Amino acid sequence: MRTAVAIVGGGPSGLLLSQLLHRAGIGSVVLERRSRDYVLGRIRAGVLEDGTQALLRRAGVGERMDREGLVHDGFSLAHGGGTHRIDLAALTGRSVMVYGQTEVTKDLYAARDAMGGTVLHGVEDVALHDLTGDAPSVTFRHEGADRRLACDFVAGCDGFHGPTRQSIPAPERREFERVYPFGWLGILSETAPVDHELIYATHGDGFALCSMRNPRLSRYYIQCRADENPDDWPDARFWDALRARLPAALAEALETGPSIEKSVAPLRSYVCETMRHGRLFLAGDAAHIVPPTGAKGLNLAAADIHYLSEALIAWYGTGDAAPLDGYAARALRRIWKTERFSWWMTSILHDFPDRSPFERRMQRAELDYLTQSSAAMTALAENYVGLPY
């Protein structure tokens, strides 16, 4: 087999890159370890920056998003027994959209199918070869046969645990990490959201988030131990803990019901600054992880794909290698700003078990200042709706 760009990873990053390249007349093959049903069964966040929305429209997959997505002009911070709304539209002139990552992936699959894109599932034993030469290739096992895919470039869109980043020699990888001493216990329930916008709550018992997928499907999270077992949390225990972390009026209005999914997500900040190795380019979770507090995971991956697709289109269109050479530096400038915002949101909203009384007072003062300063709220809003590409 031969293609222009071998894309390892069939999640939204890999599918979006394949779609953008196809529309520019550039061939690709997507290799995915899991089945399509597994990929579509993953529950992920769904707050889209306006830049991500525009990129999906440019890729030709924005029609259903624009029809079914929920436009949010703000969100609320709950602390000290009350709530304060951050008016995104008034502060920035922009908004975000709630549209689940699963729905984005469905739309991308539909588009790749309609255009005859090649997406191989159940791929095993992926190995990358000759990345620093002019003729890289990817070998893998698919449907019981060993196969080889020759290509011009390899895009690593295979997530934190995938093989592409590991193909870069360890001495050449520049990695930075912060592991947080807690996780998020999340449930999905067929109940009406407690509010029409997201609510981020801080409390002495820990953080909580009230979110939604649609008007009858709610997503709720509470801070928990990183090693918490979801089986130890029957629904009644979860609802009681969530109510305790919300202001009284919201706790009283909360509609409860059986959970249809329950899981614990660990929190970490991670960046691999080595996003290029010869003809290999990393994007998305293969290169960086953000805690979910700022709703930036999918959005940051989409920004990488914006930069990488532009660079590949320039190379194939005019032979200009400068955008490819500058890809990592360009992406990393935005990555580190987004990492900063996600780290900051996590720091001011969560209970850190090792914080001193002084540090807890500083956390409270930060929240008080944030909700009383228009400048501070504007900085928060600008980051939340998304930094420009």
- Strand order from edge to edge, sheet including 96-98: 47-48, 96-98, 70-72
Beta bridge partners of 265: 184
Instruction: Judge contact between 253 and 247, C-beta under 8 A.
Output: no
The DSSP code sequence of 287-345 is TEE--GGGS-HHHHHHHHHHHHHHHHHHHHHH---HHHHTHHHHHHHHHHHHHHHHHHH
| R_g of the chain, CA atoms, integer Å | 21
Query: What's the rounded Cα separation, in Å, for the pair 120 and 39?
Result: 12
Which of 340, 299, 387 lies closest to 47 in space, CA to CA? 299
Query: Quick one: which H or E segment has residue 222?
Result: strand 217-224
SS3 165: helix
Which residues contact residue 315 at a Cβ distance below 8 angstroms, ignoring those fewer than 6 apart? Answer: 321, 323, 324
Query: What's the rounded Cα separation, in Å, for the pair 383 and 268?
Result: 19
Which of 11, 293, 288 lies closest to 160 in space, CA to CA? 288
Beta bridge partners of 259: 189
Give Cα 280 distance to the centre of its chain. 21
Active site residues: 72, 200, 292, 296, 384
